[in-house]
Amino acid sequence: MKASDINKYSPFQPVSLKDRKWPDRKLEHAPIWCSVDLRDGNQALPVPMNIDQKVRLFKKLVAIGFKEIEVGFPSASNTEFNFLRKLVEEDLIPDDVTVQVLVQAREPLIRRTFEALDGVKHAIVHLYNSTSKLQRRITFGNATKDEIKAIAVNGATLIKSLLDEVPDTNITLQYSPESFSDTEEDYAVEVCEAVMDVWQPTPEHKMILNLPSTVEWNMPNTYADQIEWFCRTIKNRESILVSLHTHNDRGTGIAATELGLLAGADRVEGTLFGNGERTGNLDLATLALNMNSHGIETGLDFSDIDAVRKIYEENTGMKVHERHPYAGELVFTAFSGSHQDAIKKGMDLREDEDTQWAVPYLTIDPVDIGRSYEAIIRINSQSGKGGVAYILKREFDYDLPKKMHPEVGLYINGLADQYGRELTFKEIMDEFQKEFVNRKDVIDLKKFEITKMTETKVLGEISLTYKGEKMELEARGNGPINSVVYALKQQGWKDFNVEQFRSHSIGHSSASLSVSYVQISLNSDPAMRFWGCGVHTSIRRSGVNALISAYNRAQVAKGKTG
């Protein structure tokens, strides 16, 4: 935005609330949840859902655990009306689920809405009209406050008179002063109390006052101040449920809801993954999982977030972004080397799954929402030594010595940089084996057989080819690796010292493999070190293979450097 354009905007005025209490509170329990995917979410779609799609999404919302679901605006179109009738006539609404219907404060729309409710067991009738100064001036042509209040009162009066037409339906009444966050606080209370005077809620039969941030004009702390001021000021607070309905124009819809709950609200309305007009509504999945990550039970089941995302995408035609909190394809994935190293260390230390979750860069355990560990670390040119080692360990059981990580990581990351893309797990393993495992470039070890072995002495026979020439050598030393070093020395090939050795097994059956790792340093330049890996059914042979691999890598490197 150009500096010359700034003057057309003005800051939002704060609420006068000197002794606000919400900043010192903490969330300890979940709110009442209401999904508005089938109405608010649906009206924001380029191609609205058809009835079958809405039914599939409704069933998923029920399965997740939503007990209040806004099913639409029955008076808006035949599709909306017929959808609710299908739910009723095919007995698709569980007895413990309340369906919510939205209606403007207009007589024909209200009457049509009540026709749609015939046979519903539990319903919320949600009445609304716009109350903000901006809406009064522009949408309603400079209507007065009394005229706008009269619209709400007249609608509420008609709804009350129609309750007897659905005697078998348990109805909860809800009113929204639309654009609440842009309405003068005292006027919002005045209109809400006028509706309360008509509906006469009691502590035993509460009504809902829904306070929308229809357009997110202000910062989330200001919205929280508005909610706390409202909760303090409204009469008969014990007879109402204060509900929040935030949008995301400033990108802080979730924050505004969380602070609004601290400020005293009881209930929230939102959509899966935040689908809604403009930048969207409150993201119910993110808010619920935020609470889960702080140890708060929500009553909502997002233990298979990918399945929820699949149903959502198939029926709305929308896509969940790769970086969307919790549900995105890449949100548990680290490409950065430093992140990968910290995650690997955290995962390695998690020996007891019953302990409190504490892994760097992962706010929750991906497994808890149905994600695997496969995608936690992925490798490209930005990745580090720990990431490659993590994948080799997690996916293929190769537990590299820590001092081997930099050499392997540098090699694999160099390939990713060369290819200009991410490497698959299979590619990482294939390249690791080609470069480090059972190398045969210079020395091709055909046979290593121990003929005599005591606690302090090993004698053996070696068959190999050296630069293509077949040879038979004697092995002699205080262990298998040392005996092979002796044989190489006798041929004048030993220009190195063995620095590190480690081994482990892969698998637990009789067919398990032994994996060994050996590091050597060159006599001519001790700073030049090379790791090799050996794999064999015999632990002795795997160690020898690792030595030969390290030696071959060193010889190839020497040849390339002169």
Is 341 labeled as ligand-binding?
no
In terms of DSSP H, where are the helices of 494-538? none
Which residues are registered as beta bridge partners of 476?
A: 459
Task: Say if CB 496 and CB 554 are below 8 A apart.
Answer: yes
Nearest alpha carbon to residue 271 among 105, 64, 104:
64
Distance in angstroms between the alpha carbons of the first and the last residue of the chain: 59
Tell me the residue type at 408: V
Q: Using CA atoms, how far apart are residues 534 and 540, in angstroms rounded to an integer?
A: 10
Task: Say if CB 35 and CB 284 are below 8 A apart.
Answer: yes
Is 380 labeled as ligand-binding?
no
Is 536 labeled as ligand-binding?
no
Q: Using CA atoms, how far apart are residues 367 and 505, in angstroms rounded to an integer?
A: 27
Gyration radius from the chain CA atoms: 34
Structure tokens at 475: 């092995």
Structure tokens at 62: 């029920």
Nearest alpha carbon to residue 42 among 314, 277, 310, 212:
277
User: For residue 500, what is the enclosing H or E element?
Assistant: strand 496-506
Is 40 labeled as ligand-binding?
yes
Burial 274-286 (b: 16+ CB within 10 A, else e): bbbeeebbbbbbb
Question: What's the CA angle centered on 149, arms 146 and 152, to 5 degrees?
Answer: 155
Tell me the residue type at 520: I
Q: Using CA atoms, how far apart are residues 14 and 219, in angstroms rounded to an integer?
A: 9
Q: Using CA atoms, how far apart are residues 120 and 474, in angstroms rounded to an integer?
A: 90
DSSP code, position 5: G
Binding residues: 40, 245, 247, 281
Binding residues for Mg(2+): 40, 245, 247, 281
